[in-house]
């Protein structure tokens, strides 16, 4: 009888998960796995069938009450045999007592509903090569890594249910990335990170006080090359901006939660950071 074991993933395993996500067409960033593991090293599980890795899930905790689930993948040869459900149950057990969020692909959304997740909004991946856009009068774009980190962390909390300093610090500092902040009279009015990927470079998170600031950040980071932004459809100005910039919908996920939907600054949220970690 085949032996199936579940264990906490190593750094190498998390890199493997990222490769599996790329195989599924999700186009993760090239160095995402490094930032992911730093966020919650015990929050990644790998399922092994007779010594071969065949299933994965990430169950990352932020603080005591919020968590995010991702990387829920069973390899093709292991599907339909119950291994995915077993690693799902192991992951959810780790998150007992938390409000859990996820970004669910369309095919899995009915299963997530059965597990107690409720739909909040859709995140739409928009891809294309945006034009350069002028920086609004009075606004300056600067390298976000030159700002005091606590200023960025406080700003990020407007868009995420818990502090996530352990995620944000490597997210802006790793190689193959650029991070820009928009300042107006010394105040943060925008923030965005671009990271290289197998396909179009990913921009996320993307925060902006106005569509024109978001357009300036996107154009500066893209620099004439293809990019992808995962925009929340609840922000109608974000969706209109993606269309205006020529970024076309590629696919979408559903943001879902097991508990109450967190209060986030949706009006200034133009792109989420990651489908895997929120």
Q: What is the pLDDT of residue 134?
A: 97
- Does 273 or 64 have the greater pLDDT score? 273
Domain boundaries, given as residue ranges, for the chain: 4-118, 125-271
Indicate yes or no: pTM above 0.85. Answer: yes
Q: Which of 105-109, 202-206, 221-225, 252-256 has the lowest mean pLDDT?
A: 105-109
CATH topology match: 4-118 vs 125-271 = yes
For 4-118, CATH gives: 3.40.630.30
**pLDDT of the residue at 108:** 86
The residue with greater pLDDT, 156 or 2, is: 156
According to CATH, the topology of domain 125-271 is Aminopeptidase (3.40.630)
Whether 1 has a pLDDT exceeding 90, the answer reads no
Measured between its terminal Cα atoms, the distance across the chain in Å is 38
pLDDT band at 53 (very low <50, low <70, confident <90, very high): very high
pLDDT average, residue stretch 43-58: 97
- Residue 172, pLDDT > 90, answer yes
Region 148-154: mean pLDDT is 98
Is residue 151 over pLDDT 90?
Answer: yes
Instruction: Give the per-residue pLDDT at 106.
Output: 83
Average pLDDT over residues 234-252: 97
State the pLDDT confidence band at 188, using cuts at 50, 70 and 90.
Answer: very high
Rounded mean pLDDT, 249-268: 97
């Amino acid at each position: 009888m085949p032996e199936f074991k579940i264990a906490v993933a190593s750094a190498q395993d998390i890199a493997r998960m990222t490769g599996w996500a790329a195989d599924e067409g999700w186009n993760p960033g090239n160095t995402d796995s490094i930032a992911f593991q730093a966020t919650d090293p015990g929050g990644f599980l790998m399922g092994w069938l007779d010594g071969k890795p065949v299933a994965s899930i990430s169950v990352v905790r932020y603080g005591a009450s919020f968590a995010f689930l991702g990387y829920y993948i069973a390899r093709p040869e292991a599907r339909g045999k119950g291994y995915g459900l077993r690693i799902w149950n192991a992951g959810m057990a780790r998150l007992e007592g938390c409000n859990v969020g996820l970004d669910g692909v369309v095919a899995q959304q009915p299963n997530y509903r059965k597990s107690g997740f409720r739909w909040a909004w859709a995140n739409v991946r928009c891809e294309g090569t945006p034009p350069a856009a002028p920086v609004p009068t009075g606004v300056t774009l600067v390298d976000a890594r030159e700002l005091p980190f606590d200023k960025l962390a406080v700003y990020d909390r407007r868009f995420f249910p818990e502090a996530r300093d352990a995620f944000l610090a490597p997210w802006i500092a790793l190689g193959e990335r650029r991070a820009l902040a928009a300042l107006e009279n010394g105040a943060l009015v925008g923030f965005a990170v671009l990271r290289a990927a197998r396909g179009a470079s990913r921009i996320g998170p993307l925060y902006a006080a106005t569509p024109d600031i978001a357009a300036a950040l996107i154009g500066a980071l893209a620099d004439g090359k293809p990019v992808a932004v995962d925009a929340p459809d609840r922000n109608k100005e974000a969706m209109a901006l993606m269309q205006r910039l020529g970024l076309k919908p590629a696919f979408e996920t559903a943001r879902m939660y097991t508990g109450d939907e967190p209060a986030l600054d949706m009006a200034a949220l133009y792109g989420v950071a990651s489908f895997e970690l929120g």
